[in-house]
Amino acid sequence: MPSQMDTAAKRKIESVYRKSLAAERRRNIWNGVKRDRFLYLLALPGIVFFILFKYVPMWGIVISFQDYSPYQGMWASSWVGFKHYIRFFSNPDFLILFRNTMAINLLSLIFFFPLPILLSVMMNELRGNKFRKTIQSIVYLPHFLSWVIIVGITFLLLSTGEGIINQLLVAAGLNKIDFLTNPNYFWGLLTVQSIWKDAGWGTVLFLAAMAGIDPQLNEAAKIDGAGRFRQIWHITLPGIRSVVIILLILRIGHIMDVGFEQVFLMMNGAVSEVADVFDTYVYRLGIKQGQLSFSTAVGVFKSVVGLILVIGANKLAKKFGEEGVY
Amino acid sequence: MLQSKSDHLFNATNLFFLTVIGLVTLFPLYYVLVVSFSDPAEFIRNKATLFPKKWSLDSYRYLLSTDSFIRAMGNSAFLATVGTVFSLFVTSCLSYALSRRRLQGRRVMMLLILLTTLFNPGIIPPYLLIRDLNLINSIWSLILPVLTSGWYVLLMKGFFDSIPPSLEEAARIDGCNDIGVWWRIILPLSLPSLAAFGLFYAVAYWNTFFTALLYINDFNKQPLQVLLQNMLIDSSTASGGTAAAEMTAEQQIPSETLKMAAVVIATIPILMVYPFLQKHFAKGAMVGSVKE
């Protein structure tokens, strides 16, 4: 009996103690919040932004499991489970969209991705400072032009009517090439556009990483008799390895994304078969035709695959002893 | 001796290829200028020339006399200035708060911000949100949803991390609260970084196209890029081959010279900020992104 009393009393003491500990912790948190109230005030607009414009739309993906009707709203629309997802995967459009997206992205991965690395190695090897600055200003410039302008310039250069390239072809006694309406050229055209716009800009990070390489390494290699190519191979390239890997991870995470604006603006009736990608499809069916639930499902599918890819690529990078993105 | 000879060869080849790359990058822009300054009638007759046979400012004069073009420029200018100020404000406030280690809930907030960079809900849910907020056809629909981004917040936070805490302590002793420290100490110290981010924001706002396509139906409220799309691309020969090209010539839909004059005018603001951009962006792009 007495021992039971003891344990009951002990328990009571313990619970009072625990409660006071919790109260103390709460008080500490509250004191911290009070102390940093101005910091929270500073953070407030940003926090409101992230909640309203990033997290509220995440709720919006529930409509992909509904037959959403704008009149009934998200709360009253009927639930249909995976209906829209199943419809999408069993739709022949799915394979076409998937093929186009993959083709455009693989071309970019093979042809676009290595170019900034090559270009920054070349620029890093420049000895004259003035020429280097000039060439940097020139190759960075197209990055800041909008896609509308770049597509406009593409038409100016390549159209069959007034395009200067076709004028030159005719002047050289050759046939005109309908670059803009022949589906065979579409993917290549996008790749060339991306290269012109962003290959130069892509060198910024690599050049910065190269600037961080200890020049003594190069001196030592030179004394050991290494030529320029060997210095590049054994010093410069290893020096930017981690940056390359981080960018590659990010690139892989975006393999389902094709720049919407570029494709949308370059698309025309003649090439739609090879041009339609997930984002243009979502825009057309969702915004233009009002199939909100179905096109949300397409968008969610795309984002989920992207998320899995970036997490997977990051894990893989860490496995190989690299830092990864996060 | 042998070493320096191969060095010379290496340098010469390198210089040659980079020059070619520079010229290839510049040529389209040069050609845009040439076409825009060509006499419209002369251009239609002679088509491509590498140098205008007959100079003319007609296209520019016409363009700047149309209300729609001026209005679109005004809309974009508003977007770029007001949007940039708001974006810098929100980004720097939040980044500064997150850079203070004593802030409770900091880790959770950063994790939640990081998550937004990994997953996006697509096009439709944000569209429904903007519609529900009654922002369709409002210029704020082009500013509010892109006020800041997880990347920029984390990058700028990385920059604020590098400012020594002793400065903050000194200001505190002088009686500053957190807002005072942020405004009087941190912001002045990070002007170069603010300039870099500000210019990135300004360019992004100036180039706003897709969100305007989604959210702005009112012709009078369209930013410049949407007007440019109507001018350059909708009426272009690409959509229907030669038949459309002939129609274009007949109906006096914007001539190539007019289109390119529009391209030049739309690019001028970017070229004007470009020198400043150049000075700062390497730093801005680097902030916190390369770990050494």
In the predicted model, is pLDDT for residue A210 greater than 80? Answer: yes
In the predicted model, is pLDDT for residue A172 greater than 70? Answer: yes
Nearest to A277 by CA among A151, A154, A108, A103: A103
The ipTM (two decimal places) reads: 0.88
| Residues in B touching A142 (Cβ below 8 Å) | 25, 29
pTM of the full predicted structure? 0.88
B window 54-113, beta carbon within 8 A of A: 89-91, 93-98, 100, 102-104, 109, 112-113
How far is it, in rounded angstroms, from Cα A14 to Cα B73? 71
Count CB neighbours of B49 within 10 A: 16
Question: Which residue of A lies nearest to B110 if distances are taken between CA atoms?
Answer: A47
For residue B251, what pLDDT is reported? 44
Decide if B123 touches A, using CB distance below 8 A.
Answer: yes
CA distance B284 to chain A (A): 11
Q: Which of A216-220, A227-231, A292-296, A319-323 has the lowest mean pLDDT?
A: A319-323
Residue B225 has φ and ψ, to the nearest 5°, of -65, -35
The single-letter code of the amino acid at A148 is V
State how far the alpha carbon of A197 is from the alpha carbons of B35, B65, B195, B260, in Å. Answer: 21, 31, 23, 18
In the predicted model, is pLDDT for residue A299 greater than 90? Answer: yes
Which positions of chain B have pLDDT values less than 70?
Answer: 1-3, 47-48, 235-254, 281-292
pLDDT 10s digits, B231-258: 888 754 443 333 344 444 444 556 888 9
| Cβ–Cβ under 8 Å, residues B186 and B172 | no
| Residues in B touching A135 (Cβ below 8 Å) | 18-19, 21-22
| Cβ–Cβ under 8 Å, residues A286 and A296 | yes
| Residues in B touching A287 (Cβ below 8 Å) | 123-124, 127, 214
Number of H helices, E strands in chain A: 20, 2
State how far the alpha carbon of B112 is from the alpha carbons of A251, A317, B116, in Å. Answer: 22, 23, 7
- Bridge partner list, B38: B55
For residue B235, what pLDDT is reported? 59
